[in-house]
Amino acid sequence: AQSVTQLDSHVSVSEGTPVLLRCNYSSSYSPSLFWYVQHPNKGLQLLLKYTSAATLVKGINGFEAEFKKSETSFHLTKPSAHMSDAAEYFCVVSEGGGGNKLTFGTGTQLKVEL
């Protein structure tokens, strides 16, 4: 069975400073990993995905994530935070192996301060 662990439930950064949201995964298969963002009272928007191609994945809004098999990690980063980045971020793993149900991490609430 697959799972993801988001190491921080809350992260606070100043506008213009780097963002790091940490995620570790556990999967029996070669995993597919995703980051989704959820703004308050909104749906889930796909930021980026890793599906066994390049290990450094670039997403929307300047976000990127690096798949590190040796560390079983898939951390999300952004060089410079913007106020509009304040939201809940979910690291997600897909079952793979023919099944596609998603397993979500518990989420990281990102706060961006002036």
Partner 1 sequence: AAGVIQSPRHLIKEKRETATLKCYPIPRHDTVYWYQQGPGQDPQFLISFYEKMQSDKGSIPDRFSAQQFSDYHSELNMSSLELGDSALYFCASSPPGGETQYFGPGTRLLVL
User: Where along the sequence are the contacts to partner 1 (CB under 8 A)?
Assistant: 32, 34, 36, 42-46, 49, 51, 90, 94, 96, 99-107
The tokens for 41 are 């009272």
DSSP state of 98: T
Q: Closest approach of Cβ 51 to partner 1, in Å?
A: 6
Nearer to partner 1, 101 or 114 (CB): 101
* Amino acid making up residue 109: Q
| Beta pairing class for 56-58 and 44-50 | unpaired
Shortest CB 114 distance to partner 1, Å: 26
Report the nearest approach of partner 1 to the CB of residue 107 (Å). 5
Q: Which spans in 34-111 are helix H?
A: none
